[in-house]
A and B are shown apart, each in its own frame.
Chain A
Amino acid sequence: MTMRDTDWDGVRLHVVTGKGGTGKTTVSAALALALARIGRRVLLIEVEGRQGIARLFDCPPLPYEERKVALGLGAQGAEGGDVYALALDPEGALLDYLEMFYNMRRAGRTLTRLGVVDFATTIAPGLADVLVTGKATEATRRRVAGRSSGHLYHAVVMDAPPTGRIGRFLDVSTEVSGLAKVGPIKTHADTVARVIRSPQTVVHFVTTLEEMPVQETLDGIAQLREQTEGAIRPGGIVINMARPAMLDAADLIAAASGSLDAAELVLGLKAAGISDDHGLAADLMTELKEHAQQVALQNRERDELLTAGLPHYELPMIPDGIDLAGLYQLAAKLREQGAA
């Protein structure tokens, strides 16, 4: 099998963030499908307990368990590898942690009853985050049982919290140091941080070509670079739900400024057998002007995004809503553009 280099060769943990409403979960899922080439196993993790993955893959709500949800995108119509999914929550991650490190699953249950979960999610600084990111890094590092070489998952894709919270979410060591300067949770956080701050991990930003998401993306990238002094690496920018321009650039500019000649349109309509009743052509011209303004806005926002100097990928709007077929379509687009 010959393999074209992708932009992220060597990256094993893909953290995907973005402003709410930009399609973070969809892009994460598409990326997982794209990464799961033949013979590879990819784990898709969601952390916010919304069961967005189950909905996308049209399967029953995911338990706290790694389950196969789909086949990856194969090459030229062939089957791909396997995509597994896991819906993480702090409670499950805490029980896991207790079991893994202390063999204390039962004690963990008692802790849950006593309100330790409330404690973790409400008050203990960074505890929930370190448990959740801890689980993701553990899966990233996991080896195939009984063999010293080979990771169980070729890559892990994490549908992470939104842009506003991502820096803090990933910067677990610093977060937890407010809680504990020494002790087991601090040690755990340091292990997690080593993976997150290694070249194995990148953070991708999902955005639409609208003002607020773009601004938030640029702020998020700057913040991540600043806050972690470059230790946590920004990955690519995924422009989602882009609406294609339907006219050539010159016509669009003319349309936006209102200088496009309506006579051409009237003639064209007439030739197609559509009569210009009640000023139909004028109404279409108004619509065209709005379209042109929107395209111009998108172009401005795209230029703005490029100032971040990161690789970027563009995904089209899937007009009928995202289903499994739509996901594979997006996965193919990501792969075409070198994201996976």
Chain B
Amino acid sequence: MGAPKLDMDRIIDDRRTRIIVCCGSGGVGKTTAAAAIGLRAAERGRQACVLTVDPARRLAQSMGLTHLDNTPRLVDGVDTSGGGSLYAMMLDMKRTFDEIVEAHADPDRAAQILANPFYQSLSSSFAGTQEYMAMEKLGQLRHADEWDLIVVDTPPSRSALDFLDAPQRLGRFLDGRLIRLLTIPAKAGMSYMKVLNAGFSMMTGALTKILGAQVLKDASTFVTALDTMFGGFRERAEWTYRLLQAPGTAFLVVAAPEPDALREASYFVERLDAERMPLAGLILNRVHVSSAGRLSAARSLAAAETLDTYDRPDSGNGGNGPKGAKGAGPRYSLAAAVLRMHAERMNLGKRERRLAEHFTSAHPAIPVAEVVAQPEDVHDLDGLRVIGTCLSRQNP
């Protein structure tokens, strides 16, 4: 493959690298990659912190994360002889949101916002909030400056791009015309009716009709309260966004060698480029390789077919079978099955390679690191070390 190799150790050994963002579509092994990179960095002397959003239970347990508590915890079992350490945390998006509100509004107003039904569902259930809060938490961790490398795993969005938009999305919403419309009643009391033209009152009429008057009132209270914190929100969102663009950040796009994941990865690479985000490379996860690659799929299948004919009782010794083949059926059937299994593995590998080549021909300058598929899922630090080693040994 023509793509340059991604040199993971150079990235994690470079003290100027302060943030690594792993992104990609769901189910490609982002969290595992982020954890493996964090562990490797810690064992190579970095003060690393892994921020994860939605880890598999056993992977979380392997890092000592048994519950959400929104604070980085020291991970046991890490080799700290190089002077490094590893912390890990799972994001609690509601708590993160509450903390922002408490930090930006006076206690009365904060209490009012926290109790509002709109706030409660916005902070706990909305697609988009998780992305926004992950970025917020990243900003906080970076600001705290207790770690010299933060590895973040992005939320499993339906589109891998959502988190990039998240910081601005809420801002755009709060800046929108609807919000201004909703905030008028609370600001001006009943007198707003007078200043509104017919179009506007039709709108509020329609909204009342669809949502009901109580809803409109709650929404209005909520956005008015939020409005006072708005400056703070926007400032933070912009700060985080600039942080992501800074040279100390390295984006890694994670993909499995499957059409959907690679299509998403391509899109992502283009988007990062458009946003001028520093892309370090692609991690191609769960690649199938064969240690017996010198035996091609075609030859392997042909050999299996040859063995099948030997196994047929009526072919006996009279055919082209070697002497003594008769009665040796079971023996050959094992070899035939192994050859078929090998052929399938070779074909799968070939297909994956073809898909990867599609990607690299469209993005020839993007460095790629391949991680070989593991026979079992990763759920301990040793498993993460294997992935880390894989990531760093890209030169044959």
Q: CB-CB < 8 A to A178: which residues of B?
A: 117, 120-121
Contacts known (A107-B206, A178-B117, A272-B304); A21 close to B28, Cβ less than 8 A: yes
The reply to whether B335 and A185 form a contact with Cβ atoms under 8 Å apart is no
Provide the bound-state CA to CA distance between A152 and B159, in Å.
Answer: 33
* Closest chain A residue, CB of each to CB of B25: A20
B window 190-234: CB within 8 A of A = 199, 202-203, 206-207, 209-215, 218-219, 222
Q: A107-B206, A178-B121, A183-B211 are in contact. Are A118 and B173 (CB under 8 A)?
A: yes
User: Interface readout for B280-306 with A: 1 if CB under 8 Å, 0 if not?
Assistant: 000000000011101100010001101
The chain A residue sitting closest to B54, CB to CB, is: A164
Contacting B at CB under 8 A, from A161-197, are 161-162, 164-165, 168, 175, 178-186
B323-357 interface mask toward A, CB cutoff 8 Å, 1 = contact, 0 = none? 00100000110111111111011011001000000
Q: Kindly list chain B residues whose C-beta atoms are within 8 Å of the C-beta of A210.
A: 377
In the assembled complex, B396 has its CB within 8 A of some CB on chain A: no
Known: A122-B126, A320-B351. A268 touches B335 (CB 8 A): yes
Taking CB atoms, residues of chain A closer than 8 Å to B256 are 21
B158 at the interface (CB under 8 A from A): yes
Query: Are B121 and A284 in contact, CB atoms less than 8 angstroms apart?
Result: no
Asked if B210 contacts A21 (CB within 8 A), the reply is: no
Majority-rule SS of B interface residues: helix
Q: Whole-angstrom distance from the CB of B201 to the nearest CB of chain A?
A: 12
B27 near A21 with CB under 8 A, answer: yes
Our pick among B27, B213, B338 for the contact of A22 (Cβ within 8 Å) is B27
Task: Find out whether the CB atom of B295 lies under 8 angstroms from the CB atom of A274.
Answer: yes
Q: Is the CB of A186 within 8 A of B26?
A: no
A19 adjacent to B178 (CB under 8 Å): no
Q: Does B170 contact A (CB under 8 A)?
A: yes
Please give the distance in Å from B384's CB to the nearest CB on chain A.
Answer: 15
* CB proximity to B under 8 Å, residues A48-74: 48-50
B112 interface residue per 8 A CB criterion: no
In the complex the two chains form, what is the Cα distance from A274 to B25 in whole Å?
Answer: 42
A311 at the interface (CB under 8 A from B): no
Known contacts A211-B58, A287-B345; decide if A265 and B121 are in contact (CB<8 Å).
no
Q: Which of B158-174 contact A (CB under 8 A)?
A: 158-159, 169-170, 172-173
Assuming the contacts A102-B209, A119-B178, A215-B56, asked whether A168 and B203 have C-beta atoms less than 8 A apart, the reply is no
Residues of A within 8 A of B342 (CB): 284, 287
A288 interface contact, C-beta 8 A: yes
Q: Say if the beta carbon of A324 comes within 8 Å of chain B.
A: no
Does A228 touch B at the CB level, under 8 Å?
no
Q: How far is the CA of A279 from the CA of B258 in the complex (A)?
A: 31
Tell me the complex Cα distance, A290–B341, Å. Answer: 11
Minimum CB distance partner of A21 in chain B: B27
Q: Chain B: which residue is nearest A129 at the CB level?
A: B125
B261: interface (CB < 8 Å) = yes
User: Given the complex of chains A and B, what is the CA–CA distance between A283 and B342 in angstroms?
Assistant: 10
B334: A residues at CB distance < 8 A = 247, 251, 264-265, 268
Does residue B259 face the partner (Cβ distance < 8 Å to A)? Answer: yes
- Whether A125 and B128, one on each chain, are in contact in the complex, defined by CB atoms closer than 8 angstroms, is no
The distance from the CB of B28 to the nearest CB of chain A, in whole angstroms, is: 7
Out of A50, A107, A125, A212, which one reaches B158, CB within 8 Å? A50
User: How many Å from the CB of B139 to the closest CB on chain A?
Assistant: 20
Known contacts A246-B341, A268-B331, A271-B310; A110/B121 CB under 8 A:
no
Residues of B close to A294: CB separation below 8 A: 375-376
Instruction: Flag whether A3 is at the interface (Cβ < 8 A).
Output: no
Interface: A111 (CB within 8 A): yes
Q: Pick the most buried of A180, A181, A210: most chain B CB atoms within 10 A of its CB.
A: A180
Given A50-B158, A211-B58, A215-B56, CB of A271 within 8 Å of CB of B214: no
- Identify 30 residue pairs between A and B in the complex whose beta-carbon atoms are under 8 Å apart, listed by A's number: A20-B26, A21-B261, A50-B159, A113-B177, A114-B176, A114-B177, A175-B125, A179-B118, A179-B215, A180-B215, A185-B210, A211-B58, A212-B27, A215-B57, A247-B338, A247-B341, A251-B337, A265-B334, A265-B338, A268-B335, A271-B307, A271-B322, A272-B304, A273-B303, A284-B292, A284-B342, A287-B338, A293-B375, A319-B347, A321-B351
Given contacts A21-B256, A277-B294, A287-B342, 18 further A-B pairs with CB under 8 A are A19-B27, A20-B25, A20-B27, A21-B26, A98-B210, A113-B177, A118-B172, A119-B178, A122-B122, A123-B118, A123-B222, A168-B125, A178-B121, A180-B212, A180-B214, A185-B210, A280-B292, A319-B347
